Amino acid sequence: MNPHRHRALAALLTCALTGGATALATGAQAAPVTAAAARDSTANARPQVPSPQLRLPKPTGPRAVGRTSLHLTDHSRRDPWVPRSGDRELMVSLYYPARKGTGTPATYMSVKGARLFLEDRGIEGVPAEVLSGTRTHTRTGARPAPGSYPLVVLSPGFSVPGTTLTGLAEELTSRGYVVAVVDHAYEAVGVEFPGRGILPCAACGRVDENTVGPAAKGRAKDLRFVLDRLTGARPVWRHADLIDKKRVGMAGHSLGGAGAAAATAGDARVRAAVNMDGPFVDVGPASDLSGRPMLMMGTAADHSGRDKVWEATWNSLSGWKRWLRVAGADHFAFTDLAPLAGQLGEDTPDGLPGHRAASITGAYVGAFFDQHLRDRPRPILNGPSATNPEVAFHHLARPGAQKSRPGAQK
């Protein structure tokens, strides 16, 4: 293995991992690894040594995972970032329980998309094939498994593509969910749209603490539109009969978490929501979100009581709720970047190992939706456990505020 070349790629992922909650919540980017540093790290490279094979963690559920994609256009809105481009466009990666042995292995991301993702962070001399070639547990063209399944809509963090939530999507799908991962036009690097190619991140650098509210509300409009197109009278997906329209949840990371919460507050179709290390906007006692189950998962560094917005949101929620703090986690610990960096030897001694970050995220998000969309109580949500010592329950809901809908558990 070429240690110098792979150290440069690891530096990219570690740079993203240490960006901090504030960076992605407000749209700021972590300091890039300079081109000079990248050149220095590859100066003694031996190109004939094969690259490592990165792999996403194996899903824990029994079901095979299929995937297809949809290109959606909301003709009722102009794009908020590039109005001259026309109507708002979205890409949706649909993951669904599939028949085992059907379909072909799915790619993680395109080589061009990976190259742009690397270049955006100032890395030179690192092969995009290493990142794009990450092994997934998904198959395209797979035949759907029979049945009806809850739907979970996922929104990624600001500036990063939805592919960074592939591991979570696979985990949920393996447990018996249809999962829709949404890519929002002009809000990420490396996302390709049919007939348009890979769109630039026109929004990058334009979202800060003063504008995160409108950005999150824009995400909420996107997510509700996706729900319209998947569960409406004339759904766009030919296998939409797999979706149980009465069991819908939303989740997201960073700005995507803010958008998921905002979408839930404005849409009675959504039964439960998860915000992974993102801000909250316009959530108060009068919000429709207040009576619905909410899981708040954040880093211990940023969500240990100092976040006044999270505290205010917690106090406004009258339904089932949990606030989890994950020790040693960085902002991107809830995405694929954590286990990928770990495989490259970039786990920090005092930080949360990448494989643990992926396991914790899948376990608690999966348990939350199992309990609130499938009426299957999960003891892991009742309090601290020896199995996951890194997870602290910053708050537990008051005894009188546990039942918000049928199936919600104490």
User: Using one digit for the tens of pLDDT, what is the confidence trace for 298-319?
Assistant: 998 887 767 888 998 998 888 9
> Mean of the pLDDT values across residues 77-86?
97
Of 194, 170, 130, nearest to 343 by C-alpha is 130
Rounded Cα distance between 262 and 213, Å, is 10
Q: Is the pLDDT of residue 159 over 60?
A: yes
Residue-averaged pLDDT of the chain: 85
CB distance 183 to 201 below 8 Å: no
Handedness of CA 288, 225, 108, 247 (dihedral sign): positive
What is the reported pLDDT for 282? 78
pLDDT band with cut points at 50, 70 and 90 for residue 349: confident
Whether the per-residue pLDDT at 49 is higher than 90: the answer is no
User: Cα(216)–Cα(354) distance, rounded to whole angstroms?
Assistant: 28
**What was the pLDDT predicted at 23?**
41
Q: What is the helix (H) or strand (E) element at residue 149, kind and residue range?
A: strand 149-155
* Residue 181 pLDDT exceeds 70: yes
Give pLDDT, residue 123.
56
Q: What is the mean pLDDT of residues 7-36?
A: 40
What confidence score (pLDDT) does residue 400 get?
A: 42
Mean pLDDT, residues 190-207 = 94
Please give the pLDDT value at position 40. 40
* pLDDT exceeds 60 at position 335: yes
**pLDDT attached to residue 7:** 41
Alpha-carbon distance of 158 to 25, in angstroms, equals: 7
pLDDT band for position 125 (50/70/90)? low
What is the C-alpha separation between 1 and 24, in angstroms, rounded?
33
User: What tokens does 305 get?
Assistant: 């009581």
User: What pLDDT score was predicted for residue 166?
Assistant: 98
With a CB cutoff of 8 Å and minimum separation 6, the contacts of 68 are 93, 94, 96, 140, 141, 237
DSSP state of 55: B
Mean pLDDT within 381-398: 87
> What is residue 100's predicted lDDT score, i.e. its pLDDT?
96
Q: Is the pLDDT of residue 354 over 60?
A: yes
pLDDT band for position 54 (cuts 50, 70, 90): very high
pTM attached to this predicted model: 0.86
123 against 339, higher pLDDT: 339
| pLDDT tens digits for range 223-242 | 999 999 999 999 999 999 99
Higher pLDDT: 43 or 241? It is 241
Give the pLDDT confidence score for residue 286 in this predicted structure.
55
Q: Say yes or no to pLDDT of 381 above 70.
A: yes
Mean pLDDT for 156-167 is: 96
Q: In the predicted model, what is the mean pLDDT of residues 342-361? A: 89
Identify the CATH homologous superfamily for domain 3-401.
Alpha/Beta hydrolase fold, catalytic domain (3.40.50.1820)
pLDDT of residue 398 exceeding 90, the answer is: no
What's the whole-number mean pLDDT along residues 118-144? 86
- Whether the pLDDT of residue 71 is over 90: the answer is yes
Buried (b) or exposed (e) across 30-67, using 16+ Cβ within 10 A? bebbeeeebeebbeeeeeeeebbebebbebebebbbbb
Per-residue pLDDT reduced to its tens digit, 88-106: 999 999 999 999 999 999 9
pLDDT of residue 42: 38
